[in-house]
A and B are shown apart, each in its own frame.
Chain A
Amino acid sequence: MTGEAIPSPHKGEGKGEGSSTRVYRRPVPAGWWARRSHYFWYIVREFTALPMALWLLWLLIDIRSAAVRPVNFHPQTSIAFVAFSVVCLAFALYHSFTFLSLAGVIIHVKVLDRPVPSRLIVLSQFALWAVASIVIGFVLIWFAR
């Protein structure tokens, strides 16, 4: 263990012989998140914001370049873009899945003086997600035609 021993601000000091007790502070190791799988998957969850942001940035750049030169806008044929999109989709799905699963912890409602079971809340969140995905997908495809 590395760290430093520093004098403790323990109260009650200073009377009589005034002994100050050194305490030892252990710093959190830089690789703390790799030590437990739960910490690791938490960092992955937090990290998903980055690929999603990058994908949106790429999309914006593509739209901008399409506005400049429509004929050069073939995002669906760019292998790199498809590969990158798949990776980002995986991260986005993980993000959504963890976020919606945790809704059951965060949201607490009581109906007729009884708490609604968290599984029901989580199911309703996933159902809403499915409905939203279908609706948005439908709209996008309709516009694309």
Chain B
Amino acid sequence: MAPKKITIQAARFDPEHDERPRMQSYEIPFSDDSMVVLDGLNYIKAHVDGSLSYRWSCRMGICGSCGMMVNGTPKLTCNAFLRDYWPRPVVVEPLNNFPVIRDLVIDMDDFMHKLQSVKPWIIRKEEMPLGAAEHIQTTSQIDDFRQFSQCINCMLCYAACPVYGLNNEFLGPAATALARRYNLDSRDQGLKQRLPVIASSEGIWECSFVGECSVVCPKGVDPAKAIQQTKLDTTMRFVLPYGNRDPEPPRQLEAEEA
């Protein structure tokens, strides 16, 4: 039986030579049913054309490096099985809505900037000393923000979001979900400091709940939910009396208990 083959069409762009991106077609052996698109790209790079450039690292869907458009859908190429596309060709392009640096590599500067802008760290009025042990936090309190803490920063959601595509100023799904992760963490007291960024006109209010971000998210973060819930929460804070009250500080371990 002749070995199976599959065609991968990859976007190529070298700013030193190319005016605009072009497609290049490669036919490779499809030797194992558990091969993923990333395996295909690695085969091309090792055996056919070493100049094909793309990012990858962990190959197990946790580092977030290998996000690309596969047949028009943003996917982690380490988790996109060739068997789902064969025998038709697989078209691999750089993530939508980001500038292309080279081939399948996009410019992440805007994303990194937005992550940092939501102040994604625990903000407390007073730091607790290490000797006072851990903040008490129940599993139920972790459940409040657990989902939003699963983001691997793969940017598939930004590639899927037409609002971000049409307006690069939009804060975007992942950044807002990360802000909500900290706002909901019982140990955090920084909601007020994050509000100017998330509740701005380029923040949550730019979102019109297309919802595609949550569809493509490989980790089930559901950033659309994060954004809509943030809209509701910030509105309630604005509308209700005492809405601006700070959350209760988490209970610390008493010195006798520790």
Contacts and interface: CB of A to CB of B under 8 A. Distances in A.
Nearest to A114: B140
Contacts of B99: 8, 23-25
B100 A105 contact: no
19 contacts: A1-B93, A3-B20, A8-B101, A21-B101, A22-B15, A23-B100, A24-B13, A24-B100, A28-B96, A28-B97, A102-B209, A102-B211, A105-B225, A105-B228, A106-B229, A106-B232, A113-B140, A114-B140, A115-B143
Given A3-B20, A28-B165, A107-B232, A35 B72 contact: yes
Contacts of B222: 105
Contact of A108 (B21, B72, B229): B229
Contacts of A23: 15, 99-101, 107
A24 B162 contact: no
A24 B98 CA distance: 9
B194 to A, nearest CB: 18
B72 to A, nearest CB: 7
B19 interface: yes
B13 to A, nearest CB: 6
Contacts of A38: 210-212, 215
Interface residue SS majority, chain B? mixed
Contact of A24 (B21, B210, B225, B232): B21
Contact of B212 (A1, A9, A36): A36
Contacts of B109: 9-11
Interface in B33-81: 72
Interface of B: 11, 13, 15, 19-21, 72, 93, 96-97, 99-101, 107, 109, 140, 143, 162, 165-166, 208-212, 215, 222, 224-225, 228-229, 231-232
B229 A32 contact: no
Interface string A17-59: 0000111111010001101101100100010000000000000
Interface string A95-133: 000000010011110000111000000000000000000
B228 A21 contact: no
Nearest to B230: A106
